[in-house]
Structure 1
Amino acid sequence: MQLLVVLAHPDPASFNAAIADTAVAALRGLGHEVVLRDLCAEGFDPLLGAGEISEQAELPPSVEAHCRDLERAQGIVIVHPNWWGMPPAIMKGWIDRVFRPGRAYRFLEGDGGEGVPQGLLPAKAAVVYNTGNTPAARELEAFGDPLERLWRDCVFGLCAELEFHRRLFGVVCLSDAAQRAAWLKEVEQDMARLFPGEGA
């Protein structure tokens, strides 16, 4: 199975990076082909220019490569921190530039863009891992869960028919090595459950 892991965190020593590395290692250990896209490490440009908006636009080679990764992925793992109830800007820009009309979704004939799009992605499962420093109860009471709504309904819900999972790890700033190891074990277990290897 071909899988895509996308990381958005500027610090290679972050817990987000550890989550992504753990997911990649677990998936490869299960026999899957895995593409890791570390957006900050590769310097992904999040700015969607006017010339890229059209479905027929000629894309820069780097963006085209990301689009192909997304189109081929049978499963997707997203990793990023919760910053102001949103993904980091580089992740939002990745969505803007890579979840493209005609590639990730399309509108039915006669729909000028005002309707509900038809998803085109082949992925059968998607997992989103977020980290945060606000206790879960306070987060829900004060802010709701905007990241759940964003990824489940506004992104994957419009681009694929898939099984969606999301997990929030926190409070990260107060966690010790043992807690982080336990969380990473949960990531390994998620990968084995959602993307079992051949013959499993």
Structure 2
Amino acid sequence: MKISVILGHPYEKSFNSAISETVVSTLKSNGHTIMFHDLCQERFDPILSDEELVSGISKDALVLQHQQEIKEADGIIVIHPDWWGQPPAILKGWVDRVMRENIAYTFPVGDSGGGLPIGLLKAKAGLVFNTSNTQEERENEVFGDPLQRIWKDCIFAFCGVTVFDRKMFRIIADSTMDERQMWLNQVSDMVKIYFP
């Protein structure tokens, strides 16, 4: 299978990078084709211009590559930290520019965008791995776990990817090497479940 792996973290020695390395090595060992993108290393431009917004067409070669790959992907894995209950800006911009109408979703004929979307992505599953420095109880009780809603409902389900799972690793700032290795093992196990 072709699996799209998207990393949204600016620090190349972050635990998010370690997660992405584990994801890629696990997928390779299972014989999958990997389309890996470290958005910060690629210097992906997250800004959706007025021209691109109105026309629905990008002239950016990297955006066009990402759009083609996301259409071809049999699975999608996204890795990023929890910043203010959201993905980092570069990843939000990736969603804005790549998951566009007629790429990731459409609307019925005659519907100008006010009705229910029709997801176009063929991916069989979407996985998200997050890191956080917020206690789980506080995340759920005070903030309502916004990343779950964003990825599961607002992005993947909207675009037709109905099989979804997400794992949050916390507290990163105080974690030990043993904890991190245990978490990376969990990443590998989860990838194997969805993309054997």
TM-score by length of 2: 0.98
Mapped to 1, the partners of 2:81 and 2:102 lie a distance apart of 29
Mapped to 1, the partners of 2:101 and 2:181 lie a distance apart of 40
What does residue range 95-114 of structure 1 map to in structure 2 within 5 Å?
95-114=95-114
Mapped to 2, the partners of 1:4 and 1:94 lie a distance apart of 13
53-62 vs 121-130, which moves further:
53-62
**Deviation of the 1:54 alpha carbon:** 3.8
Q: Which residue matches 1:67? A: 67
The alignment yields a C-alpha RMSD, in angstroms, of 1.0
**Contact 1:19/1:187 (<8 A) preserved:** yes
Deviation by residue 1:79-109 (Cα, 9 ceiling, x = unmatched): 0000010100000000000001111000101
Q: Which residue matches 1:180? A: 180
Mapped to 1, the partners of 2:37 and 2:133 lie a distance apart of 25
What does residue range 1-200 of structure 1 map to in structure 2 within 5 Å?
1-54=1-54, 56-196=56-196
- 3-state SS, counterpart of residue 53 of structure 1: helix
Instruction: Give the unaligned 5+ runs of structure 1.
Output: none
**Contact 2:46/2:93 (<8 A) preserved:** yes
**Deviation of the 1:59 alpha carbon:** 2.7
**Deviation of the 1:55 alpha carbon:** 5.4
- 3-state SS, counterpart of residue 4 of structure 2: strand
Deviation by residue 1:26-67 (Cα, 9 ceiling, x = unmatched): 001000000111000110010000111245524311110010
Mapped to 2, the partners of 1:56 and 1:41 lie a distance apart of 26
Structure 1 stretches (4+) deviating beyond 4 angstroms? none
- 3-state SS, counterpart of residue 76 of structure 1: strand
Deviation by residue 1:147-167 (Cα, 9 ceiling, x = unmatched): 000001100111014310011
Percent identity, aligned pairs only, is 45
**Contact 1:6/1:78 (<8 A) preserved:** yes
The residue type paired with residue 24 of structure 2 is V
**Contact 1:107/1:115 (<8 A) preserved:** yes
**Contact 2:56/2:100 (<8 A) preserved:** no
Q: In the superposition, relative to structure 1, how do residues 161 and 10 fare at CA in structure 2: closer, same or farther (>3 Å)? A: closer
Mapped to 2, the partners of 1:55 and 1:164 lie a distance apart of 31
**Contact 2:104/2:159 (<8 A) preserved:** yes
Mapped to 1, the partners of 2:105 and 2:55 lie a distance apart of 11
